[in-house]
Structure 1
Amino acid sequence: MKQIVGLLLACIAVISAVAGTVQAETIAFNFTDPSSGDVSAEGTDGFRFTPIVNISVTALGYYDRDQDGLTLEHPMALYELSSGDLLASATADGSSFLDGLFRYTSITPLTLQAGIEYVVAGYHPGTSGDLAAYLVPSSLVSFAPEITYGGYYFDYGSPLALPTTDGGDASFFGPNFKFEVVPEPSTYAGLLGITCVSLLAYGWRRKRHQAA
Structure 2
Amino acid sequence: MDDIKINSLISFAGYNWRVLDIKGNAALIITEHIIDQRSYHDAYKDITWADCALRKYLNGDFYNRFSEAEKSRIIPVMNKNLDNQWYGTKGGEDTLDKVFLLSIEEVVCKYFGDSSSNLYNPNKSQRYWFHKKDVNNSKRIARLESTVGVWWWWLRSPGRFNVRAAYIHGDGNVGIQGNNILKGNASDGRCTGGVRPALWLRLDM
TM-score norm. by structure 1 comes to: 0.24
TM-score norm. by structure 2 comes to: 0.24
Greater per-residue strand proportion: 1
